[in-house]
Amino acid sequence: MINVIIVDDEPLAQDVLETHIERIPELQLVQKCSNALEANDALRNHQIDLMFLDIQMPQLTGIDFLRTLANPPMVIFTTAYPNYAVEGFELNALDYLLKPISLDRFIKATNKAIDQINLKKGQGSITETTQDGVDYFFVKADKKLIKVNYSDIVYIEGLKDYVIIRMENSRVITLQTMKSLEEKLPATLFKRIHRSYIVGVDKIKAIVGNMVEITEKGQAKHLPIGKNYREDLLKIINKNKL
């Protein structure tokens, strides 16, 4: 269930949003707030996943309120003024609903939110068996849990909040940080070589200067070695050098 709050000083606008929310089974309305102070209390007292935030409110606008939050939930702005759209998206708002808000436009925005929130809730949730000798994990991607064998992974590439797990003949893109993924992968099998790359140790073909050579789709590929990771990588190489 996705916990939601409405932040709007207009009772009619609150009622419209509440009616729309009731039509979406995945959404649970936790509180209706008339101003930023009430919203701030709601965020402190509840685990909120999604906030429908009006922009034009007395005392503190929705945009200014969002700027005060260190760890805001996902936000969909609601307003009668389209000229605020650019500023809203600069604050990483998921969407921008113009009043009066139609049901079809509401559903489109919330479907996007539901997908992203479910993906985020799966962040760091690499599921693996606890039995000895496990050689795979499951990662959430494309609305399902995908099995990934350790032996199939060539390297992992980080792109902001996403990672691409690159295998011999396929790839998996998932919402995950490189740090959280690195912590869960077996250190004997995988090595972080750069802030943007983790490589399967057994897939390393050569070290060429400040590059790791691997093979991807039958072609040689070179990945950079970050200066903060070089020493640890060379320890592994020297340990197994004849």
pLDDT tens digits for range 175-192 = 888 888 888 888 888 999
* Adjacency order of strands within the sheet including 50-54: 27-33, 2-7, 50-54, 74-79, 95-98
3-state helix, strand, coil in the chain (%, to 5): 35, 35, 35
How large is the average pLDDT for residues 38-67?
Answer: 93
Give the pLDDT of residue 129: 41
- Give the pLDDT band (50/70/90) at residue 89: low
CATH numbers and ranges of domains, the chain:
2-121 (3.40.50.2300), 136-239 (2.40.50.1020)
Q: What letter represents residue 223's amino acid?
A: L
**pLDDT score of 172 more than 50:** yes
In this structure, what are the phi and psi dihedrals at residue 64, rounded to the nearest 5 degrees? -65, -35
- Taking the C-alpha atoms of residue 59 and residue 177, their distance in angstroms, rounded to an integer, is 37
If you search the block for the tokens 């997908």, which residue do you land on?
115
What's the CA angle centered on 43, arms 79 and 7, to 5 degrees?
Answer: 20
Cβ proximity of 191 and 201 under 8 Å: yes
6 pLDDT above the threshold of 90: yes
User: CA–CA distance from 103 to each of 89, 97, 108, 209 (Å)?
Assistant: 22, 11, 9, 58
Residue 196, pLDDT > 90, answer yes
pLDDT digits (tens, 9 = 90+) for 200-238: 999 999 998 899 999 988 889 999 999 889 888 887 777
DSSP conformation letters of 65-112:
HHHH-SS--EEEEEES-GGGHHHHHHTT-SEEEESSPPHHHHHHHHHH
- 13-28 confidence digits (pLDDT tens): 999 999 999 999 889 9
Is residue 122 predicted with pLDDT exceeding 60? Answer: no
Quote the pTM value.
Answer: 0.53
Provide the H-helix boundaries in 161-213.
Answer: 178-184
